[in-house]
């Protein structure tokens, strides 16, 4: 958080001091006029948040936050939809600062950004502040202390059919406890693996949840157990037996990218296990469309 504040305070200082510049003389003149205006009357910065120059907009929105604090949420929300990446980033960082100050309106805006923002980096910036589940994915092959060869001693492909499925148009399934192992999903629809637009949910872009029960094999002498996802279109958040395992969220490119999550401690050997996957699709087909495999590693 301190790094964000330092960076944005530096942004304001750089712009005001004239370090940010352009080869375009008109842009230089406009920025000079802007600097003079807010130096004399800082509260007039709000008049520049719709300026044609993105650097002026970016500085103005940060100045607006500094001056108005919790009363700047409306301006920050508007700026978070700006066509310029850096303007949106500045607005989101200011909203994060307000979220950490317990400003409920800022938190609500960040939750919207975390689902609506097209850029995965900005989406993660918003979601990391408000998303209640955090876990770094640590795989055996990426462990710097593990310098032995790794063999897959058993692989179990999870069923492609028999899944339960529900849309999450309000984006509040996690608040309802959809991820919990004992959640009653009797009213969820039945579905199989595949693109959901081919399975009765045509033209739906947004969030949905999958869950399935499977029995794990008898316990083996192993060093790790991982779930391998062939592909989820396009982002996924994974729980096993109610415990969060991690996410796969790299933007639109993630639709055809395999990924793994560790479940060494969470797997119940020779027992029923409950796998829950929250999926987000921003465009096209959507869904878990390639097999999921339980890999036991030695």
The 8-class DSSP code of residue 119 comes to S
* pLDDT above 60: residue 46: yes
- What mean pLDDT value characterizes the chain? 91
- Residue pLDDT, tens place only, 266-289: 999 999 999 999 999 988 899 999
The per-residue pLDDT for 114 is: 87
**C-alpha closest to that of 113 among 101, 54, 98, 55:** 98
Radius of gyration of the chain (CA): 23
Give the confidence band of 123 by pLDDT, cuts at 50, 70, 90: confident
Indicate the domain borders of the chain.
Answer: 2-130, 140-297
* pLDDT above 50: residue 1: no
The per-residue pLDDT for 22 is: 44
Architecture of the domain defined by 2-130: Alpha Horseshoe (1.25)
The per-residue pLDDT for 13 is: 46
* pLDDT above 90: residue 71: yes
Q: Are the beta carbons of 286 and 278 closer than 8 angstroms?
A: no
The per-residue pLDDT for 11 is: 55
In CATH, the number for domain 140-297 is 2.60.120.260
Buried b (16+ CB within 10 A) or exposed e, 6-34: eebeebbeebbeeebeeeeeebeebbeeb
CB atoms within 10 A of CB 88: 23
Dist CA 49 CA 55 (whole Å): 10
Q: Reduced to 3 states, what is the DSSP secondary structure of residue 162? A: coil
Residues 6+ apart with CB under 8 A from 297: 140, 150, 151, 152, 153, 222, 223, 224, 225, 226
């Amino acid at each position: 958080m301190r790094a964000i504040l330092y960076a944005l305070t530096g942004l304001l200082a750089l712009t005001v001091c004239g370090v940010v510049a352009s080869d375009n003389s008109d842009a230089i003149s406009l920025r000079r006029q802007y600097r003079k205006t807010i130096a004399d009357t800082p509260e007039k910065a709000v008049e520049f948040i719709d300026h044609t120059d993105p650097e002026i907009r970016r500085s103005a929105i940060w100045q607006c936050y500094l001056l108005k604090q919790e009363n700047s949420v409306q301006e920050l929300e508007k700026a978070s939809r700006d066509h310029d990446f850096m303007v949106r980033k500045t607005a989101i960082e200011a909203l994060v600062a307000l979220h950490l100050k317990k400003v409920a309106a800022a938190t609500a805006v960040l939750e919207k950004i975390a689902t609506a923002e097209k850029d995965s980096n900005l989406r993660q910036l918003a979601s990391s502040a408000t998303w209640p589940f955090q876990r770094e994915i640590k795989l055996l092959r990426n462990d710097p202390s593990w310098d032995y060869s790794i063999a897959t001693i058993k692989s179990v492909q999870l069923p492609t059919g028999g899944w339960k499925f529900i849309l999450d148009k309000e984006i509040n399934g996690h608040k309802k406890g959809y991820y919990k192992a004992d959640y009653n999903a009797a009213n969820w629809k039945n579905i199989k693996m595949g693109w959901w637009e081919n399975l009765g949910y045509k033209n739906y872009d947004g969030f949905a949840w999958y869950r399935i029960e499977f029995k794990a094999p008898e316990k083996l002498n192993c060093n790790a157990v991982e779930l391998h996802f062939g592909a989820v279109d396009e982002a996924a958040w994974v729980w096993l037996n109610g415990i969060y395992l991690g996410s796969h969220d790299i933007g639109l490119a993630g639709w055809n990218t395999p990924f793994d999550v560790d479940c060494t401690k969470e797997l119940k050997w020779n027992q029923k296990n409950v796998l829950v996957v929250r999926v987000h699709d921003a465009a096209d087909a959507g869904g878990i469309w390639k097999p999921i495999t339980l890999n036991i590693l030695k």
